[in-house]
Structure 1
Amino acid sequence: MSTKKKGSNFKLLSLFLFLGTCVGDYGIGVGIGEGGVWVGGGGGGSPNSDPGSSPKQQTNPAYSALQSWKTAITEDPSGVLKTWVGEDVCSYKGIFCSGSSVTAIDLNKANLKGTIVKDLSLLSDLTILHLNSNRFSGQLPDSLRALSSLQELDLSNNRFSGSFPQVVLYIPNLVYLDLRFNGFTGSIPESLFSKQLDAILLNNNGFTGEIPGNLGSSSASLVNLANNKLSGEIPTSFGISGSKLKEVLVLNNQLTGCIPESVGLFSDIEVLDVSFNSLMGHVPDTISCLSEIEVLNLGHNKFSGDLPDLVCSLRNLLNLTVAYNFFSGFSSECSRISFGFDFVGNCIPGKGYQRPQPDCSVIPGGSLSCLRIPAQPLTCAAILGLKATSSSP
C-alpha cells in the first residue's frame, strides 16, 4: 500500500473514531484492511433484544427457546418475565435446572397471556411443564413431540381450544396429562387410553362423542372426564382388561343406557362417580365386587328398581349417593348404613323428601333390558376369574 493511500485511510479512521464518540451507547465498529476502512454496528443491538445477549447466548438452545417464548407472551401482570434476561437461564423465575440443563418449568398461577411456541421443543431435558392457571390460548405446536424427557404436562385452567391436541400422544415418556378447564372440543382419541399414563384429566372442556371403548384398559389410576358433552353408553368392555383404575369420574355428561355388568372388574377402584347423566335401568349386582370402593355416586340419573343389599354392604364404602333417581325401595341392609347415604328425590314409599307420586307413575327406561348375571359370591368369583384370564399373556 502506498504512503499516500495509508495517509488517506488514517484520515478516514480518525474521522470515524470521532463520530463514534458522538453516537454514545450505540457505537460504531471500525477497522482497516486491504480494502480500506470498514464500519459496522456496535453492541447496542436492536431495541427489542435482550440486553444481556451475546454471540455465545445465541447458540444456547435453552436461551433461544425461552427468549422466543418470551416474545409470544403479551401480558405479564406479575412481572415474571422481567427476570428472563441474560445468559443464565437457570436464574429465570419459574425455570428449574439440573446442572446447566433446564429440567422443569413451573409457571402455575402466573396469569400470563400468550401462546406456546414451537421452540420449546429445544428443551430436550425438560421433564416437567406446569402452566396451570394462566391465559395461554391457541393450540399446541406439533414440535413438542420432540420433548422426549417430558413426564408431566399440566395445561389446566387456560384458554386452549380446538380438537384434542394429538401431539401429546407422541410424547414418548409422558405419564401425567392435565388438560382440565380449557376449550378443547371434538372426540377423545381411543389411542389416549392405550398410552402408558398414570393420570388423564380432561374434565371441564367441550369434548363430544362417545367414551372410547378401551377406557377400561387404561394404565392410569385416575381418569376424569367430568363436565364435558360426552354421549352414548358407558363402554361394555368397561374394566375387562384388568384395569388399574382407582378413580373414574364421568359426571355431568350426556351418557345413556345401563351401567355395564363389567363394572365389577374394577376390583381396585376407590371412587366411581357417574352422577348427572341419563343412565337408566337397574344397578348391576356386580358393583358388590368393588371391595375397595369408598365413594359411589349414582345421583341425578334415571335408575329404577330396588337398590341391592349387595351395594349397601360394601365394606369400605364411606359415601353412597343415589339421590334424584327413580328407585322404588331399598333393603334392610341399606337401612342400617351409618355412613353418608343420600337417597332423597326417589320413589321410595314411607321415606321423606321423595318425588311426588305422579312423577313415579311412569319410570324412565322401564322397558330397557340390562343384562343380569347371578349375585354374589358367584358373580365376583366369575368376573375375577375373567379378569385374571384377560390379563394373562
Structure 2
Amino acid sequence: MAADVLRAVRREPEASRAALTKSLHLSSGTMTDLVSRLQTVRLIDEVAATPTGRGRPSTRLVPHPSGPLVLAAEISATGWRTALAGVDGRLAEQHSGEHQDYSPATILAAVGAALEDYRRHYRDRIGATSVSLAGTMAGTTVVQSAVLGWQQVSLDALGAGGLLLCNNDATLAAVAEARRGAARQARVSTHLMVLSGAGGGSCQDGEPILGATGASAEYGHLPLGRAGLQCSCGAVGCWDVDLGARAMARDLELELAGPAQEVTAVREWLAGQDPDAPAAETRAQAASLGRGLAGLVNALDPELVTISGLATELRRLAAGDFDAAFAQALMSYRRSSPPPVLDAALNQDGPLVGAVELALDQVLSPAALSRWAGED
C-alpha cells in the first residue's frame, strides 16, 4: 500500500492527504500509519494544505527534503534542458542552454556538466538519469537524428556510471500525456508531436509501447509522403517529407536564421495566417496531419489521441481540412464514434516530464525502495 501512496502523490501532487485517503479507499488510521512509515524512511513529508474553508485543516503529502531524486535531460534541435525531480515528479531546478555547435562532444559536454552540478550537490540521493533526445534511440545509443546530424552516438557518459535511461522525445511526450496530461483518463492513447518532422508514441495503462529495440513509433517514417522524395532517414516517401517544419520551410522557401531553425521560422509564418482564409500550404499540411492521424487510429485503435507542437497550430488554422481528411481516412465503422483528438496539456514540458516518469518507475520500484530503506 505504501507504493500506492507514492503513485498517488505522483498522479495528484496538489491533492490533500484527505483527498488521497479517499481516492485510495483507505481508512484515516491506515493512511496515518503509511505516512508515518514513509516519513521514517525519508520518502514523504507532510505540510499544511491551502485552507479551503471551515473545518479541520488538511495537509499535503510532498517529497521528503532528504528523499530520493531523479535527473532528466532533454536534447532538442536547438538546445538542451535539465531538471531535477522528487517522488512527486515535479520539475525543479531547471537549467538550459542553446547549442553552440552540433558536434556530439560539444553538446554532451554541456549537458553532462549541468548534470554533474546536480550530482555534486545531491550526491547519493540521485537514483537515475533519464534523457530525452530528438532522434531514433536504441538503448543508450542515438541511432540517427536528422535535426542534430548524429548517427550511432553513445549517451552512456551522461549516466556517470549510474542508472541511465534514454528515449525519443516524442515517445516521452506520449508517456507524459498518458500519465499526467490530456490522456490520463484513457487506457490506450496515442500521441503525435510535430516539430521539424513528426514523431510520437502509444501507451497502454500509462506504459509506453517501445518495440523490440526501443525504436517504435517512428510515425514520421511511415510511407505517407510523396513517393519521389527521399527522407533524411534514408527511406523514400516518409511522412516527414510532407509534414512538419522542415517540409514547410522547404516548400515556402523560408529564410532561416541558423541551423535547425525551421520550427521558429514556420511558427512566425503561421502567426500571420488567418484561420478564415488559410494559405494553401497550411491547408495541405492540415490535411496531411488529419489523414495520417486517421491511419494511426486505424492501426493502433486508441481511445484518445493527443497532438502537440505545430500539429495544434495547423489544426486550428485549417480545421475544416483537418476534419475532412481525418474522417475520410478513417475506416467506415469508426466514423460514427472516432476517438477524440485533443491538444496536449504539457506541450513543451512533455519530453522532460515523460523522462522523469520513467526514471521514477525505476527509483520507486519495490527493489529500489528496499535498498533506499536499508532493507536490502
Please state which band the TM-score falls in when normalised by the shorter chain: under 0.3
TM-score (norm 1): 0.23
Q: Identify the structure with bigger relative contact order (alpha carbons < 8 Å, sequence gap 6+).
A: 2
Larger Rg: 1
Write 1 or 2 for the structure with the bigger share of helix: 2
